[in-house]
């Protein structure tokens, strides 16, 4: 027998409940994203929350996301599976599985899980919205994708977003560049932090991300990726920059931008919110990927995408005082002063007629019921008292016009409300 716990259960560390009105704000944010993506020809893809562990290996065997932070476990049938730490790998797995017609332009929204150290803006369960495009090797697509994210932030009203841009070159460029960085860091290893030395062994490029003071000086002198780009990669990058210039989207070239996942090549980018603390100010990021489709068993296919962190975007919106939660909205609220069946039946009559309607259960004073009506955001309070009931009428009070009211017969009520809504 199990009894009640000594302490009430709480959500796990780094995992949060989202209650109204914040929940409506999230839904509205996803709605805005769907509108922006939809208007550029992207269709929604809904992906499983768990995948075979192997799907995520390509996110980066040398990255923290895969080696340290993944929620992986053995399923009841012995398969090793994991909660998704991001959605690109799953999207490409779905592409390989279904082989949709090219180009495949999709958007998604959903939760991801990383066992990180929780702090403001960094959670173990967090939401992303994002896009992926497979099957197009054209720099103008990079421009389209980057502009789409930019437009979305603008639409939310965010003004303090900066776009950081880099190119990691082709696979071979990246390999050569990684080796050059490794040699540089190795030569100056005495100056590096313990953490940087450890990262250097696994993934030299990630050291460039270090924010530690002792590492910064060594990083400042590190070779630049621009010096290692092949002619093709440099031409591609020039075209991306020209496209952004032409659209008037401002960006900063950030040649230390290596991103936290391993699958990138050519264009990489990040959006940072200056309204947030520097440690958690990346509100989105993405880039072209390298060999992801092949590694998941498909034909060689070009791909690019981004994911934006919903939790952080909402923090940035708070900091800039934009994109508030939508106000509550309801057509009618039934105020029941008589008890019995009248209020119940009236509420359902309204809902059956396609209107939104709510009521208070268990009666209460007129004053307290009117308060509930106000809180619900209702346009009309429908008051059912003894007088009204006796003649089959309802008092309709317009809550948005200073409390103007009229008596309406039940038979005419729906038509009456429709003409006023």
Applying CB under 6 A, which residues contact ligand HAM? 86-88, 114, 116, 122-123, 126, 128, 130, 132, 260-261, 282-287, 305-307, 309, 311-312
| Prior bond of 21 cis (ω within 30°) | yes
Minimal distance, residue 344 CB to ligand HAM, in Å: 44
Number of neighbours of residue 108 by Cβ within 10 angstroms? 24
Which residue, 118 or 377, is less far from ligand HAM as judged by CB? 118
Q: Which of 140, 162, 168, 137 is nearest to 149 (CA)?
A: 162
CA distance 36 to 141: 16
The closest alpha carbon to 194, from 215, 169, 168, 218, belongs to 215
Q: Shortest gap between Cβ of 18 and ligand HAM (angstroms)?
A: 13
Query: d(Cα 398, Cα 402) in Å, to the nearest integer?
Result: 7
Euclidean distance between CA atoms 144 and 306, whole angstroms: 12
The helix (run of H) or strand (run of E) holding residue 64 is: helix 64-67
Rounded CA-CA distance 115/231 in Å is 40
The smaller minimum CB distance to ligand HAM, of residues 29 and 381, is found at 29
Identity of the residue, 126 or 380, whose beta carbon is nearer to ligand HAM in the bound complex: 126
State which residue, 132 or 388, has the beta carbon closest to ligand HAM: 132
Classify each residue of 58-96 as buried b or exposed e, where b means 16 or more C-beta atoms within 10 Å of its C-beta.
Answer: bbbeebbbbeebbbeeeeeeeeebbbbbbbbbbbbbbbb
Smallest distance, ligand HAM to C-beta of residue 69, A: 8
Provide the token pair at 127.
């939401």
Q: How far is the CB of 96 from ligand HAM (least distance, A)?
A: 15
Give the shortest CB-126-to-ligand HAM separation in angstroms.
4
With the C-alpha atoms ordered 304, 309, 315, 318, is the resulting torsion angle positive or negative?
A: positive
Of 41 and 340, nearer to ligand HAM (C-beta) is: 41
Q: How far is the CB of 325 from ligand HAM (least distance, A)?
A: 20
Closest to 70 measured CA to CA, from 91, 46, 54, 93: 54
Q: Which residues contact 415 (CB under 8 A, 6 or more apart)?
A: none
Q: Shortest Cβ distance from residue 123 to ligand HAM (Å)?
A: 4
Q: Which is nearer to ligand HAM, 123 or 333 (CB)?
A: 123
Residue 68: CB minimum distance to ligand HAM, A: 12
Q: Least distance from C-beta 136 to ligand HAM, angstroms?
A: 14
The C-alpha angle with vertex 43 and arms to 38 and 44, in degrees rounded to 5, equals 105
Alpha-carbon distance values, 323 to 109, 155, 401 (Å): 18, 9, 26
Three-state SS for 116? coil
- Give the nearer residue to ligand HAM in terms of CB position, either 161 or 218: 161
CB 360 within 8 A of CB 369: yes
Compare residues 124 and 360 and give the one whose CB is closer to ligand HAM: 124
**Phi then psi for 167, rounded to 5 degrees?**
-130, 130
**Nearest to ligand HAM by Cβ — which residue?**
309
Question: Which residue's CB is nearer to ligand HAM, number 85 or number 358?
Answer: 85
Whose CA is closest to 29, among 159, 114, 127? 127
| Residue 224 C-beta: closest distance to ligand HAM, Å | 22
* CB nearer ligand HAM, residue 261 or residue 378: 261
């Amino acid at each position: 027998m199990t009894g009640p716990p000594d302490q009430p259960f709480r959500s796990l560390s780094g995992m949060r409940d989202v209650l109204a009105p914040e929940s409506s704000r999230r839904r509205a944010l996803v709605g805005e994203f769907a509108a922006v993506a939809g208007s550029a020809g992207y269709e929604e893809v809904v992906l499983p929350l768990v995948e075979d562990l192997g799907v995520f290996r390509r996110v980066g065997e040398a990255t923290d996301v895969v080696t340290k932070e993944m929620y992986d476990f053995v399923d009841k049938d012995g398969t090793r599976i994991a909660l998704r730490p991001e959605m690109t790998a799953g999207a490409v797995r779905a592409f390989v599985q279904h082989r949709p017609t090219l180009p495949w332009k999709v958007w998604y929204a959903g939760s991801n899980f990383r066992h990180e150290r929780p702090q403001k803006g960094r959670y173990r369960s967090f939401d992303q919205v994002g896009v992926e495009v497979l099957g197009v090797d054209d720099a103008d697509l990079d421009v389209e994708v980057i502009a789409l994210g930019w437009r979305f932030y603008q639409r939310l009203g965010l003004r303090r977003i900066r776009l950081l841009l880099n190119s990691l070159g082709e696979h071979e460029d990246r390999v050569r560049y990684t080796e050059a960085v490794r040699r540089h860091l190795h030569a100056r290893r005495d100056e590096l932090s313990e953490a940087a030395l450890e990262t250097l062994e696994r993934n030299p490029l990630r050291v460039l991300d270090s924010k530690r003071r002792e590492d910064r000086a060594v990083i400042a002198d590190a070779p630049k990726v621009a010096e290692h780009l092949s002619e093709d990669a440099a031409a591609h990058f020039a075209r991306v920059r020209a496209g952004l210039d032409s659209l008037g989207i401002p960006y900063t070239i950030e040649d230390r931008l290596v991103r936290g996942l391993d699958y990138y090549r050519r264009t990489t980018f990040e959006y940072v919110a200056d309204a947030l603390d520097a440690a958690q100010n990346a509100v989105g990021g993405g880039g072209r990927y390298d060999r992801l489709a092949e590694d998941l068993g498909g034909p060689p296919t070009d791909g690019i995408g981004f994911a934006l962190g919903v939790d952080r975007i909402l923090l940035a919106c708070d900091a800039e005082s934009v994109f508030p939660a939508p106000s509550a909205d309801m057509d009618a609220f039934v105020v029941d002063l008589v008890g019995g069946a009248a209020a119940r039946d009236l509420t359902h009559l309204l809902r059956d007629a396609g209107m939104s309607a709510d009521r208070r259960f268990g009666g209460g004073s007129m004053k307290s019921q009117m308060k509930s009506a106000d809180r619900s955001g209702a346009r009309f309070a429908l008051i059912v008292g003894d007088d009204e009931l006796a003649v089959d009428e309802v008092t309709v009070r317009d809550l948005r016009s200073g409390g103007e009211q009229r008596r309406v017969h039940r038979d005419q009520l729906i038509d009456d409300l429709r003409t006023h809504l």
